[in-house]
Homo-oligomer: A and B are copies of this chain.
């Protein structure tokens, strides 16, 4: 039996274990699932909290910089959509996310949904029956910047991950998700 064929999630387990080992607190199962799943985060939050809401904090088109071009594998100067959102249940902020999406890989329909309305990316993919796969790049702990401190009203450490959604063998979206280390410890 080709052992290596069973190792597909191993890198992911090693990543989450390495982050957990480097930190004084153990992570909860919900935290671990949120940081490693290749499924929709919105769908998980929807089920845990009842339907959650997304508020767009910032959304615009821009020319890809050296940094963002690398994240979504386009040329510097290619047009990308930048979106910064907060997922919340009523007044309770749950997860912050930022994304880069190369415009040239979007259909007009999806593009207009992204721009016009507060629809989570997972729901957009589901609505248009997009077949895709997700690849987790990094899982890590970071200090909150000013935006995160305000959104979550805390200076505590944040758990974060970034990943790409791949469609037709190209990167459709790069997404980073962040939440405070004390969140999802009891739910």
Contacts and interface: CB of A to CB of B under 8 A. Distances in A.
Interface of A: 1-2, 5-6, 8-10, 12-13, 16, 29-30, 32-33, 36-40, 42-44, 46-48, 50-51, 113, 116-120, 122-127, 129-134, 166-169, 187
Contact of A47 (B13, B120, B122, B129): B13
Nearest to A41: B39
A26 to B, nearest CB: 13
25 contacts: A2-B117, A5-B124, A6-B117, A6-B123, A8-B126, A8-B127, A9-B46, A9-B123, A13-B46, A13-B51, A29-B30, A29-B48, A29-B187, A30-B30, A32-B48, A36-B44, A37-B39, A37-B43, A38-B40, A126-B133, A131-B133, A131-B166, A131-B167, A131-B169, A132-B132
B44 A117 contact: no
Contact of A125 (B13, B33, B133): B133
8 A-B pairs closest in CB distance: A39-B39, A8-B123, A8-B126, A9-B46, A37-B39, A131-B131, A1-B117, A38-B39
Nearest to A125: B133
Contacts of A120: 6
Contact of A5 (B47, B48, B127, B134): B127
A32 B13 contact: no
